[in-house]
């Protein structure tokens, strides 16, 4: 059954949401907190599933929102842990929840399945989950590199995940995000640049690799025009479409171009072509080569924006 979100301009206590058309005239917000049903007010991740439900990962469990009310799930319901860093739905329809210390929980047909024991010696947070073109699930951690599994395959309690780490070619074991490129390759954002992986799970190319922590990549995504967008600790990077990976040029946008800060957390590509960028100093909209910054003065409940999501109705969370 398909569920349609109501046409509201919504915002969480730490996150902004609004219909895009409203920004030019006024800021339009609605705020949610534990009083409205969130299990905890620190939201780390947001995801809209194929049925239209919105999922929010917090330090107190995960909440599902149907447009009217929240239903919350935590360890009592089968989650491996209450601290949920990331959420993803695979091609089979299973939902994956990445935890701070407790590995991964998979939700299949409404039932939770703990996968912690199948991830050998996992001791770092799961911060990103993605699926590639051949059905492999990529699980990125904050210090142990990448774990991989095949969609629908993790059935045996004794089964394990394969791994990719620095010793296999990654520039860092601290993963920040994944992007499935239009050419089929998986781009892995790390704290020391971007690794482009081939089908054999080998690092085919490395981009933006610099030992300076100021160039640390924090998130990655691609638009419909072939551009790859990257947030870093030193600004916003746009890599235009290209043929091959040699001598890649890119554009770096910083405070000199209108950004409110160079230390960026994440980005969201909106349906109208604009890019929304979160940081600890608010959120910026990038459109037509111009930045517009929104902070608590414009209605944000808090300037520390850790995640941004646009739902199927065009609202920003």
> What residue ranges define each of the domains in the chain, with the CATH number in brackets?
32-130+144-164 (2.130.10.10)
pLDDT tens digits, 110-155: 999 887 555 555 668 999 999 999 889 999 999 999 999 875 555 5
Reported as a single tens digit per residue, the pLDDT across 85-103 is 999 999 999 999 999 988 8
- Average pLDDT of the chain? 85
State the first-to-last Cα distance of the chain, in angstroms, to the nearest integer.
Answer: 23
| Res. 17: pLDDT tops 60 | no
Please check whether residue 271 is in contact with residue 295, taking contact to mean a CB–CB distance below 8 angstroms.
no
* pLDDT reported for residue 243: 58
Listed in sequence order, the residues at least 6 apart from 125 whose beta carbon sits closer than 8 Å to its beta carbon are: 85, 98, 99, 100, 101, 141, 142, 143
Q: Which of 61-65, 145-149, 159-163 has the highest mean pLDDT?
A: 61-65
Q: Compare 285 and 245 and report the one with higher pLDDT.
A: 285
Which are the contacts of 275, defined by CB distance < 8 A and separation ≥ 6? 223, 229, 236, 267, 268, 269, 285, 286, 287
d(CA 244, CA 253): 23
Q: What is the pLDDT of residue 77?
A: 96
How much is the average pLDDT of 166-175? Answer: 95
Percentage of the chain exceeding pLDDT 70: 82
């Amino acid at each position: 059954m398909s569920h349609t979100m109501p046409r509201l301009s919504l915002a969480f206590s730490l996150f902004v949401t609004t219909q895009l058309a409203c920004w030019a005239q006024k800021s339009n917000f609605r705020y949610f907190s534990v009083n409205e049903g969130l299990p905890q007010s620190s939201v780390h991740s947001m995801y809209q599933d194929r049925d239209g439900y919105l999922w929010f990962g917090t330090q107190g469990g995960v909440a599902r929102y149907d447009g009217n009310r929240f239903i919350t799930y935590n360890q009592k319901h089968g989650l491996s842990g209450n601290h949920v860093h990331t959420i993803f739905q695979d091609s089979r329809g299973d939902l994956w929840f990445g935890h701070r210390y407790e590995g991964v929980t998979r939700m299949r047909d409404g039932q939770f399945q703990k996968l912690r024991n199948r991830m050998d010696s996992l001791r770092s947070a799961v911060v990103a989950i993605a699926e590639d073109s051949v059905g492999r699930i990529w699980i990125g951690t904050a210090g142990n590199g990448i774990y991989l599994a095949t969609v629908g395959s993790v059935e045996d309690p004794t089964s394990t995940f394969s791994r990719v780490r620095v010793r296999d070619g990654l520039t860092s074991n601290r993963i920040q995000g994944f992007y499935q490129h239009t050419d089929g390759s998986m781009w892995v954002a790390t704290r020391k640049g971007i690794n482009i992986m081939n089908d054999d799970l080998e690092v085919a190319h490395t981009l933006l690799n610099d030992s300076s922590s100021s160039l640390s990549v924090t998130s990655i995504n691609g638009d419909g025009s072939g551009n790859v967008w990257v947030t870093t600790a030193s600004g916003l990077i746009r890599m235009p479409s290209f043929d091959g990976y040699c001598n890649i040029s890119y554009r770096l946008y910083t405070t000199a171009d209108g950004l409110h800060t160079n230390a960026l957390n994440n980005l969201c590509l909106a349906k109208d072509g604009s890019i929304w960028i979160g940081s600890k100093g608010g959120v910026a909209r990038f459109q037509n080569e111009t930045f517009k910054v929104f902070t608590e003065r414009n209605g944000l409940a808090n300037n520390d924006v850790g995640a941004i999501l646009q739902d199927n109705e065009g609202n920003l969370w």
